[in-house]
């Protein structure tokens, strides 16, 4: 009882901290891009470009939503029926039911089943992105990528499972406290190490070669007072024609990455505009904000899971006696999947606000609304983004403002509206 009392108290504190951090660090109040400017921008885009982007997204929806539904059903089947517990027992059997085998092999087996069930939908999606000329990957390359992400997931997931169930065994009543701290620590650690340990598994990163563009970008960073040692180029063209840039890592591992496709498709001025947006993320410490919110949210999630573990009806459905039993991993997966789906729109909302702030930063830094708008137009055209997506889909999942919103923001900026 004492442990549960403390867990509820700490959960309340974490939720208050989460709300406070989000209230302070997320730019909630941004003037919306004027709709009239959005419609004007939309009207100026070539009709066939808009139609093709919309056809692309219509073709993507069936695999995306069917895959989501099947993945959810599979996770629920693992957690709300004894299926998951059975798989964990089976994985432990060759090892005499040893708890490490159950926790690591059993846990990975349950996740793998859900992944494999949704694989056909990922393959279906691949046929669409190839048909529309976005992906340049053969089935071989696609399969290698999937195998690599399974392997990375197995290493990180295996270590997390081992750590979690070790703590549960050592502190059967207070594991929530150690597990919450450990999970938050893992989120922070991953923010540091993913750019140097995980991203290179999928792409090769090379410093942008010396020349006027590199000099211009480093000068831009200096003018923005953002310490940038290097701008890296990723060999994205090995799998996609899409163009992108991003900033990842924290402190010593912070880097700005530009896709090589961007360098071949966009004008140097447009690359400057994109990098100015990425500098906005650095300047406002957006990776740090995401990491802090992620760490607090993950810790809160672990404690909520502990408290949920006293719901005997749920345990009975899963055929387990305790949420801390490795055989309950299917239940944990089901809860996490539902939480991810429910939290998705909130996450997307926060992301859009942060992206809009980075756009505003790019406009301020370059003072070049014309190039910014041309860059958004090109980004949308090359990536086949729906320039003005349906509201429900935008609210559900859009991580960035729409193309017409971003073009409209540039038009408002050019008129002197800040």
Give the interface with Zn ion as residue ranges (CB under 5 A). Answer: 355, 358
Closer of 199 and 355 to Zn ion (Cβ): 355
Closer of 355 and 377 to Zn ion (Cβ): 355
Helices assigned H by DSSP within 45-198: 47-80, 83-92, 99-100, 107-131, 139-170, 175-193
Give the shortest CB-257-to-Zn ion separation in angstroms: 12
For residues 364 and 220, what is the distance between their CA atoms, to the nearest angstrom?
12
Give the shortest CB-357-to-Zn ion separation in angstroms: 9
C-beta of residue 276 within 8 angstroms of C-beta of residue 366: yes
Closer of 261 and 337 to Zn ion (Cβ): 261
Closer of 4 and 353 to Zn ion (Cβ): 353
Give the shortest CB-286-to-Zn ion separation in angstroms: 8
C-beta of residue 305 within 8 angstroms of C-beta of residue 323: yes
Closer of 298 and 351 to Zn ion (Cβ): 351
Give the shortest CB-183-to-Zn ion separation in angstroms: 26
Q: Residue 145's CB: how many other CB atoms inside 10 A?
A: 15
C-beta of residue 366 within 8 angstroms of C-beta of residue 273: yes
Give the shortest CB-282-to-Zn ion separation in angstroms: 11
Closer of 280 and 319 to Zn ion (Cβ): 280
Is 201 exposed, middle or buried, given 0-12, 13-18 or 19+ CB atoms closer than 10 A?
A: exposed
Cite the beta strand spans of 195-248 per DSSP E: 205-207, 231-234, 245-248
Q: Which residue has the tokens 């573990």?
A: 309
Give the shortest CB-219-to-Zn ion separation in angstroms: 21
């Amino acid at each position: 009882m004492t442990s549960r009392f403390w867990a509820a108290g700490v959960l309340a504190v974490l939720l208050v901290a989460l709300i406070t951090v989000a209230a302070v660090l997320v730019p909630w109040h941004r003037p919306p891009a004027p709709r009239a400017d959005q419609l004007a921008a939309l009207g100026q885009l070539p009709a066939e470009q808009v139609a093709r982007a919309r056809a692309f997204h219509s073709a993507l929806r069936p695999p995306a939503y069917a895959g989501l539904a099947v993945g959810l059903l599979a996770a629920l089947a693992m957690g709300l029926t004894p299926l998951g517990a059975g798989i964990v027992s089976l994985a432990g059997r060759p090892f005499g039911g040893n708890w490490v085998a159950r926790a690591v092999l059993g846990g990975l087996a349950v996740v793998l089943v859900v992944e494999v069930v949704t694989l056909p939908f990922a393959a279906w999606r691949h046929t669409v992105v190839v048909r529309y000329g976005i992906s340049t990957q053969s089935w071989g390359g696609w399969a290698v990528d999937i195998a690599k992400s399974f392997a990375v997931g197995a290493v990180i997931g295996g270590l997390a499972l081992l750590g979690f169930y070790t703590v549960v065994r050592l502190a059967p009543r207070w594991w929530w406290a150690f597990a919450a701290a450990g999970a938050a620590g893992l989120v922070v650690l991953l923010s540091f190490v993913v750019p140097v340990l995980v991203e290179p598994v999928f792409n090769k990163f090379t410093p942008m070669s010396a020349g006027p563009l590199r000099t211009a970008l480093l000068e831009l960073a200096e003018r923005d007072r953002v310490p940038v040692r290097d701008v890296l180029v990723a060999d994205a063209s090995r799998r996609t024609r899409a163009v992108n840039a991003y900033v990842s890592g924290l402190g010593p591992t912070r880097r700005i990455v530009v896709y090589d496709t961007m360098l071949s498709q966009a004008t140097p001025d447009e690359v400057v505009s994109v990098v100015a947006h990425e500098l906005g993320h650095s300047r406002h410490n957006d990776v740090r904000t995401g990491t802090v919110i992620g760490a607090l949210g993950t810790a809160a999630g672990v404690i909520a899971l502990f408290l949920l573990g006293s719901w005997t009806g749920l345990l009975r459905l899963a055929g387990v006696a305790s949420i801390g039993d490795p055989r309950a991993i299917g239940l944990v997966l089901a809860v996490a999947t539902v939480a991810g789906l429910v939290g998705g729109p909130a996450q997307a909302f926060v992301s859009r606000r942060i992206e809009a702030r980075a756009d505003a930063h790019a406009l301020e830094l370059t003072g070049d609304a014309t190039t910014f708008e041309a860059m958004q137009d090109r980004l949308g055209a090359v990536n086949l983004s729906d320039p003005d997506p349906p509201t429900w889909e935008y609210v559900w999942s859009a991580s960035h403002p729409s193309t017409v919103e971003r073009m409209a923001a540039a038009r408002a900026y050019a008129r002197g509206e800040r």
